[in-house]
Structure 1
């Protein structure tokens, strides 16, 4: 067997072992959490994982890349779904739109002479 074949065999064995672990018991890295929540791993680290209510990660030996238990992330996502959302009211005219957005509607353009 060649080195490439052995490497591919190792990958297949690892994938088979991972598939036998129930999803809720798996430890996810930032990319895995991102896939679960439809975000990138970077967005997870920069905007989601820093929230105080988000599950605390496990770091092997106190350092290394953070890992989250899939069931804890799922529970957090379910709780987030139940929270009331903050949606701005739909404005019915330009004055209300300005009040909601805080921005003025651009005026008519002047022609340069």
Structure 2
């Protein structure tokens, strides 16, 4: 991998890239962002929100994990998207918590 497109994840102590997806409630991909591993989650969230807003005007709510902060919520407001940070339930023993079928909820109007 070219050094210009990779980084080192400070938390995981590994080099590489972050691949981030925005999907609708059916799990269909709306937007993909690839960043260096050293990029903060907020940079990915902001890039995803910008891409989703450019791709479709139907997204009104986004569910994100607790790695995202206020800057992502604020960017969502700029695009008219309500960003909700979903915190993991410590009692949940599952590998991951999915409150819906996807990271993003797309309002279908039905």
TM-score (norm 1): 0.25
Which structure has the highest strand share of the two? 2
Looking at both structures, which has the greater relative contact order when contacts are Cα pairs under 8 Å and sequence separation is at least 6? 2
Bigger Rg, which one: 1
Which structure has the highest helix share of the two? 1
TM-score (norm 2): 0.25
